Amino acid sequence: MRRAVALLTLMATTGVVGTAVAQRVEQASDWRLAATADDRVRLRSWRSAWVKGIAQARQGGFASDVAALGALADPDHSIAEPGLPDGEYRCRTIKLGTQGRAVLTYVAYPFFRCRVSDSGASLTKLDGSQRLTGRIFADTDARSIFLGTMILGDEESSYPYGRDRARNMAGVVERIDAKRWRIAFPFPAYESVVDILELLPAGG
């Protein structure tokens, strides 16, 4: 047993585990086979994270900001066919709630640029100090699942998914209007209780 634990520790330290998970993401047809155990737990608790985040934002004095989000902040609002067409998007992140390491319980960032490619299977945020890149998996007729990683600052490439828990990103993709989508990231590694990424086609 000690040898097995030591081997797993060595593999994690050298990035072998992360590489294996990254390969599994590329090859898997089902997100459940690709996601890490931690991310499967996070995705199962997406709604409770959302409700908690909204409650904290309201209690923190941002009730009017939450109300102004309308359907974007309603965890029970979505329409069928969540797939994102390939193309350029305007995207922004809204952070709700706090895990105790942030003062504000509501933060809305400006719009940046995102791109969907590979017949709706790949999503990349192109600018900003925190960027994401990853794969979108079909799930049900009402939602898809995003698995990816975060790129920080002036980094030119991403960590493989699964290599660094703090960089892993797992979210629920939903369409909330004819040309409006969101991805809810429950219990991200930093700051908030839930992050919502809004996506709008760049061409309007």
Give mean pLDDT, residues 143-149: 96
Q: What is the pLDDT of residue 24?
A: 54
Is residue 16's pLDDT more than 50? no
Give mean pLDDT, residues 63-89: 96
Q: How far is CA 66 from CA 8, 48, 107, 148, in A?
A: 44, 17, 10, 27
Q: What is the pLDDT of residue 100?
A: 82
Is residue 87's pLDDT more than 80? yes
- Specify whether the CB–CB gap between 37 and 24 falls below 8 A: no
**Other C-beta atoms lying within 10 Å of the C-beta of residue 140:** 9
Q: What is the pLDDT of residue 25?
A: 58
Token couple for 143: 């939602």
**pTM exceeds 0.75:** yes
pLDDT tens for 176-196 read 999 999 999 999 988 899 999
Q: What is the pLDDT of residue 124?
A: 94
Listed residue (188, 37, 196) closest to 99, CA to CA: 188
- Specify whether the CB–CB gap between 148 and 160 falls below 8 A: no
- Specify whether the CB–CB gap between 116 and 122 falls below 8 A: yes
Residue 133 CB contacts under 8 Å (≥ 6 apart), including other chains: 122, 123, 124, 125, 148, 149, 151, 158
Q: How many residues does the chain have?
A: 204
pLDDT tens for 119-140 read 999 999 998 778 899 999 999 9
* Of 166 and 124, more confident: 124
> What percentage of residues in the chain have a pLDDT greater than 90?
69
* Residue 26's pLDDT band (cuts 50, 70, 90): low
